[in-house]
Structure formats: C-alpha cells, structure tokens
Amino acid sequence: MLAVLTVRIVLKQNSEMSFAELMDIIGNSNKRYMLAAVFFSAMYVIFEAFAISCIIKRSGYGKVPLKGLIYSTSDVYFSAITPSSTGGQPASIFFMMRDGIPGGIATATLILNLFMYTLSIITLGFVSIVIEPNAFQAFSTFSRVLIIIGFTALSLLSVLISVVLRNDSLIFEPLKGLVNRLHKINIIRNKEGRISKLEKMRNDYRRCSDIISNSRSILLYSFLLNLVQRASQIIVPVLVYRSLGGERSHMLSVFAKQCLITIGYNYVPVPGGMGISDYLMIDGFTDVMGESMAFTVELISRGITFYICVAVSGLITLAWHLWKSRVSGGVQKEESK
C-alpha cells in the first residue's frame, strides 16, 4: 500500500507524466544501458549471497552458493517489507538454521555482514566527495540534514555492531534474563533446557566471532564484496539516466549524489526508505538533469532496484521454502514407513 501511494504521489507531482507515458519512455530508451541497470540490480542480491557464503565457509560449514542466494533473497525481501529492515536478518537466520547451520554461527555471520554493509555505505559516501566535491551542497537544506543524520546514525551503528561482534554478553545475557523472567511469571517451562540451548548458541557465536576477528583476509574479502554490492545498486540510476539520453559527462555526478542519497535514507524506519529515498533522488538529480528527467530516472530506478528486486526476491524465497517443505515432508513420510 505504501509503495503504491509513493508511486502515485511522485507521478502526481510530475503533472506531465502518466504511467503510459512512462512505459513509452522505457520502450524508447537505450536498451543496452537499461538492461545493464537490470543486471546490476540483480548483482546487488548475488554479491550479498557471495559475502554471506564466504563467511559461512570460513566458519567451517562448507560452500553454500545456492543456499547463500536464498539467505540473500530472504534478507532483501523481508528487509524491504519491515521497518528499519528488521525482518531481513531473522529471515536469513531461519533459513540458515533450517539448513543445519547453528544459530550462533548464523547470528555472527549476519552481524559481520551487516557491519561490512554499513561500512561500505559510509566508504562510498567519502568516495562521492572525492568524485564530486560539491555534490553535498547541491542538495536542499532538508536533504542535507537527512544525509548528515544518516551518516551519524550509520557511523554509530557500525561502532555498536563492532562492539557486539566482540562481546557476546551484550546479546546473550539479556536473552538469558528474558528466559528467567518469562519462567518466573509462568509463561515458559523447562528454563534449564532453554538456557542450555542459549549457551550452546553463545559458544557457537563466540567461536565464529573469534575465527572472523582473527582472519584479516575474510574481513577484507567480506568488505570488498559488500562494497561492490552497494556500488551495484548505486550505479543503477546512472545507467538509467544514460539510457534516457543523459550526458556521459554527468554520470559520475549522478553516481556521487546517489551515494549520498543512500546514506540519507538507509536509517529511516520505513520499509525500503519509501518516500524519503524518492524525495532525495528528485532533489539531488534535478540540478544535473532537470526536474522532468529527475522524476523519470527516480521512478524507473526505484522500480528496478526496489519494487522489481523485492518482488523477484520474494518469489525466489517462497519457491525455495515450498520446495524445501515438500522435500522435508517426503523424507518424513519415507522414514515413517
């Protein structure tokens, strides 16, 4: 509902644009650049799969390329439909544990990946300043405030994640306290069994965290994969702009602004930053390409990187879940015979 409302508002703001006209513009675009935009949007999901898989492999659970894709698509889909992306990591953990990966290993893997994901956004923010020193000043005052708050929030988040990754008590002591509390008020039974499971998960988490922390190669590799992942998504508006006849000389400027736009909406507690991301893109791109094209580039880019990407990720996740359930059900029937 929020997604539909956002698109309708953007179309309404651009009184010269209708949905049919938008489709005509896409049909008349440079197909090579438009297909490249779709390709890099897909690579955003694939590079996350690589990043998660390499961490899991280093933790001692072998290669999981196909399953890594499911962990990625479930993260993308559930992050997009939940405030502040809160549903992505739990969904990934669910599928990992379903595949026999201990909860502690899965948790440490995703915390590290989130850490590198956040660092990559911050890094690309600095890259944007090098590419286009005046990019930040081109935004409106409100947009600049959002970007500053976003940079601050992401920096604090990266520090917090770093501390949590090295100090498992910050996660598991509160969980143990919650179990004790729920047992005290008679909501749960078998307190000892639940605490024992938490301790096992804590040991797995600590082991994975130690392996990761002592391996510079996995830290660097994970960071580079996340950096390329973010760049794959950020380059989509650049390619869409070029496909619509945009000037080649302005492509770096569009990329630099999209880096700052990403910082400006990533912390907003709205699924996919809907509304905020749209505003920032139109505000940031207008001085480069004019208001009319800025609206068009924003609509097509968000359609590719968010709406289509989320829909495809959701379908892949659902298909895998149904297939896995069917296979598990078949195995259980065979065992019961």
Tell me the HSE value of 37 on the side-chain side, using a 13 A CA sphere: 27
Evaluate whether 242 touches 30 at the Cβ level (below 8 Å): yes
Query: pLDDT truncated to tens, each residue of the chain (337 aa)?
Result: 444 444 444 444 455 556 677 788 888 889 999 999 999 999 999 999 998 888 888 777 766 667 788 999 998 888 887 766 677 888 888 888 888 888 888 888 888 888 899 999 999 999 999 999 999 999 999 999 999 999 999 999 889 888 888 888 888 888 888 888 887 887 777 788 888 888 888 888 888 888 777 778 888 888 999 999 999 999 999 999 999 999 999 999 999 999 999 999 887 766 666 678 888 999 999 999 998 899 899 989 988 988 889 899 999 999 988 888 876 665 555 555 5
Evaluate whether 299 touches 11 at the Cβ level (below 8 Å): yes
CA distances from 206 to 116, 192, 203 (A): 18, 21, 5
Evaluate whether 128 touches 254 at the Cβ level (below 8 Å): no
| CA–CA distance, 277 with 29 (Å, rounded to integer) | 23
Nearest to 104 by CA among 215, 207, 212, 191: 207
Evaluate whether 255 touches 238 at the Cβ level (below 8 Å): yes
Q: Which two tokens stand for residue 265?
A: 């909406």
Residues 6+ apart with CB under 8 A from 221: 54
pLDDT value at position 277?
A: 85
* Domains of the chain, residue spans: 37-233+305-328
Max distance between CA atoms of the chain, in angstroms, equals: 71
Q: What is the 3-state secondary structure (H, E, C) of 229-256?
A: HHHHHHHHHHHHHHHCCCCHHHHHHHHH
Identity of the amino acid at 201? M
Q: Report residue 239: phi and psi, to 5°.
A: -70, -35
Residues 6+ apart with CB under 8 A from 60: 211
